[in-house]
Amino acid sequence: MKEKKLGLWQSKLIIQALQDSVRKLDPRIMIKNPVMFVVEIVSAITLGIAIDDLFTGGAFGFNAQISIWLWFTILFANFAEALAEGQGRAQAESLKKTRSEAVGKRLRADGGIETVSALVLRKGNVVVVEDGEPIPGDGEVIEGVALVDESAITGESAPVIREAGGDRSGVTGGTRVLSGKIKIRITANPGETFFDQMIDMVESAKRQKTPNEKALDILLIGLTATFLTVVVTLKFFAGYMMVSVSIPILVALLVCLMPTTIGGLLPAIGIAGMDRLLQHNFIAMSGRAVEAAGDVDVVLMDKTGTITLGNRMATEFLPADEVREKDFINAALLASLADETPEGRSIVVLAKEGLGVRGRDIRAPEGASFSPFSAETRMSGIDWDSRHIRKGAADAIKNFVMDQGGTMPEKVQQIVAAVSKEGSTPLVVAEDSTVLGVIRLKDVLKEGINERLAQIRRMGIKSVMITGDNPLTAATIAAEAGVGDFVAEAKPSVKLELIRKYQTDGHLVAMIGDGTNDAPALAQADVAVAMNAGTQAAREAANIVDLDSNPSKLLDIVEIGKQILITRGALTTFSVANDVAKYFAILPAIFATQYPLLRVLDIMHLASPQTAVLSAVIFNAIIIPLLIPLALRGVRYRPTTVSALLRRNLLIYGLGGLLVPFIGIKTLDLVIAALNLV
């Protein structure tokens, strides 16, 4: 996987974000974020008081500084959101750029071809794309086969085959046909393509809040309402106790207590999560799907392509009795020369290794003719002169040699049985009536799959492998790879049933699919990832599309989903824990003049009541930009036990949130006192 990561602090993004953060001060936009909206109202009140002070000779200097920092608190929050938006937009734009100028050759109803701009192509239009031309829009190949360069979206330079009919029929606008001629049926109107959807998800104005964000919003509004009550009633309690508190100081206390840190960063966290998905070359159809990914506890994965390399490989030659190994290998090699299947090629590779020959010095004998694999014979091979070499499944070869008057030796049958029992596939080679030996074909695990599956297990997720293999083979692979469970001899419909069964038990199921027959299961799964190269049906049924078409990337989605949630939780905890220190700074500042006994609360020994209030307000403001990198990058998730994870995050963000502001406020107080600001 290649990450096309854009620098967080690119100057262009920053300038745009700075502009946006001022633009977002518009109350009509602010009201979407209730916590910061309240801050804006009280900041406006403070500003009014400060201006009034200017004419009436009140504490202008102090009140003006409070007001300024309150406005900065809002601007910082807006900046975080704007920066995340800008990042996402830039990411999406860079993916999208290639396509806007594109033109497409549209097939008219009368069969003629017209050249039109990509922007006028509608769903259902058919376009023809030939060598060297860009694909004008998202669609499905309905005729032909072509080599397509998808590096513009995946960053992968190796071209891929896209052809009609199979599970590799999906094409994306902005990619380019290198060779071949295909007809594509366009499947999305302009403005509704994957990219357009993705861009909507990183624009806060169009973005839907996820249920989890709404729930957290409710908690933050509740806290805000409580602190509003605390501060307003404090005015009366203090009045009874002969302490008068100015409005700007009450406002300062209110804003410090309110969960502005998380309130200000909350939109940015969600948007940044989408940005990270884009960086990993995923396109999500909804924020909800991404958060659900964090909850997934069952993952269905196809064996082929996810756990094992696409195909079986030859790993061993087992000659029959009285057959020289070299002859057997030679025959196997000849029989496979024309076999373009991956299995066939792997036999050639292993045979060359076994014979100690290299390169292209092996050639088929003059006048040889190949007999390709067919469903009836279930064998393939080579014929020349009067020799016939065949390789195939044991029973097919048995029929072949018996037709020639030969027999299947006992020993070979034993080898076949043994190989099967070990979960491998035996392939028998015979020349005319003589059985030469058995080739062991084995599934080869993808590199690093063990480790990934172990990670999945540590996350508390159960992995289920689905394969058409017999139970024996399936069990061998499952044990080797370390999957939690497997379903063997699976028919295509089994996935849907399995997902339903798990869901009835309350599990959240993720699956990856690419084929049309995966579509119902994808539609049923809670987190459904479709390969971008997959069929249109699969892509429509899914809620996340993987541009790289790399099935083992599911883990990345789970991780990103978890990161979004952890970041929210961590910053909420941090924000609330901060309040303790702020009380200890501001309460003595308010009361200690009238009641010197309450200086015991001034455990930070701040310079003066004014410096105390101001440093608390400044700390509250600047903690937001300081945490922007964390909000955008996300709190790191490491697969470990949940209790360990929770303990760790509580220590860092709970205990840390308790202590950090004491240090921060004290430091700011020293600076403010030294600069004589108030």
Partner 1 sequence: MTIRDAIPIILFLCVLTLAAVLLGGFMTMVFTGKRTFLTRIAGPTEKFLYRLFGVDKEDEMSWKTYTLSLVIFNAMGIVVLFVLQLTQGVLPFNPQRFGAVRWDTALNTAISFVTNTNWQAYGGEQTMSYFTQMVGITVQNFLSAAVGLAAVVALIRGFIRKSVKTIGNFWVDLTRAVLYVLLPLAIIWALVLASQGVVQTLSPATHVQTLEGREQIIAVGPVASQVAIKQLGTNGGGFFNANSAHPFESPTPLTDFMEVFALLLIPAALPFMLGGMLKKRRQGWAFFAAMMVLFLLGLTVTLWAEAQGSPILEKMGILHGANMEGKEARFGVVHSILFAQSTTATACGAVNSMHDSLMPLSGLVLLFNMAIGEVIFGGVGVGLVGMIIYAILTMFLAGLMIGRTPEFIGKKLEPYEMIMSVIAILSSAIVMLVLASLAIATRAGLAGLNNAGPHGLSEILYAYASTANNNGSAFAGLNANTPFYNLTTACAMLVGRFTTIIPALAIAGSLAKKKVVPISAGIFPTTNMLFVVMLVSVVIIVGALTFFPALTLGPLLEHLFVQVGKTF
Would you tell me which residues interact with partner 1 (CB under 8 A)?
A: 211-212, 214-216, 218-219, 221-222, 225-227, 229-230, 232-241, 243, 257, 291-292, 294-295, 297, 459-462, 505-507, 561-563, 565-566, 568-570, 572-573, 576-577, 579-580, 583, 587, 591, 595, 597-598, 600-601, 637, 641-643, 645-647, 649-650, 653
Q: Report the nearest approach of partner 1 to the CB of residue 286 (Å).
A: 14
Q: Cα separations (Å) of 214 from 211, 263, 298, 471? A: 5, 12, 26, 46
Q: Report the nearest approach of partner 1 to the CB of residue 245 (Å).
A: 10
Q: Report the nearest approach of partner 1 to the CB of residue 653 (Å).
A: 8
Q: Report the nearest approach of partner 1 to the CB of residue 565 (Å).
A: 5
Distance CA 598, CA 594 (A): 9
Q: Is 269 left (phi over 0), alpha (psi -120 to 50) or beta?
A: alpha
Exposed/middle/buried for residue 324 (C-beta within 10 Å: 0-12, 13-18, 19+): exposed
Tokens encoding 63: 């009140």
Distance CA 532, CA 609 (A): 61
Q: Cα separations (Å) of 189 from 137, 286, 519, 546, 659? A: 9, 19, 21, 20, 54
Q: Report the nearest approach of partner 1 to the CB of residue 200 (Å).
A: 22
Distance CA 200, CA 206 (A): 6
Q: Which CB sits closer to partner 1, 36 or 590? A: 590
Q: Give the N- to C-terminal CA distance of the chain in Å, as an integer.
A: 55
The residue assigned the tokens 């600047």 is: 622
Q: Report the nearest approach of partner 1 to the CB of residue 241 (Å).
A: 5
CB 581 within 8 A of CB 606: no
CB 514 within 8 A of CB 531: yes
Could you tell me which of 38, 68, 405 has the C-alpha nearest to residue 258?
38
Q: Report the nearest approach of partner 1 to the CB of residue 197 (Å).
A: 22
Please provide the DSSP assignment of 37-66 as one string.
HHHHHHHHHHHHHHHHHHHHTSSHHHHHHH
DSSP 155: -
Q: Report the nearest approach of partner 1 to the CB of residue 623 (Å).
A: 17
Please provide the DSSP assignment of 77-135 as one string.
HHHHHHHHHHHHHHHHHHHHGGGTT-EEEEEPTTS-EEEEEGGG--TT-EEEE-TTPBP
Distance CA 589, CA 434 (A): 100
Distance CA 58, CA 66 (A): 14
Q: What angle do CA 211, 217, 220 make, to 5 degrees?
A: 150
Tokens encoding 133: 């031309």
Q: Report the nearest approach of partner 1 to the CB of residue 645 (Å).
A: 5
Three-state DSSP at 72 gives helix
CB 308 within 8 A of CB 446: yes
Distance CA 429, CA 436 (A): 6
Please provide the DSSP assignment of 345-367 as one string.
HHHHHHHHHHHT--TT---PPTT
The identity of residue 606, as a single letter, is: L
Clarify whether 469 is annotated catalytic.
Answer: no
Q: Which CB sits closer to partner 1, 97 or 647? A: 647
Q: Which CB sits closer to partner 1, 132 or 595? A: 595
Distance CA 76, CA 40 (A): 12
Q: What torsion do the CA atoms of 64, 65, 70, 73 make, to the nearest 10 degrees?
A: 140
Taking only Cα atoms into account, the Rg of the chain, rounded to an integer number of angstroms, comes to: 34
Q: Report the nearest approach of partner 1 to the CB of residue 1 (Å).
A: 21
Please provide the DSSP assignment of 167-232 as one string.
S--EE-TT-EEEEE-EEEEE-S-TT-SHHHHHHHHH-TTTPPPPHHHHHHHHHHHHHHHHHHHHHH
Find residue 105's DSSP bridge partners: 115, 128
Q: Report the nearest approach of partner 1 to the CB of residue 47 (Å).
A: 25
Q: Report the nearest approach of partner 1 to the CB of residue 652 (Å).
A: 10
- Of 275, 302, 514, 669, catalytic: 302
CA–centroid distance for 375 within its chain: 41
Could you tell me which of 136, 187, 181, 186 has the C-alpha nearest to residue 163?
181
Pairing between β-strand 369-371 and β-strand 308-319 as defined by DSSP bridges? unpaired
Residues marked active site are found at 302
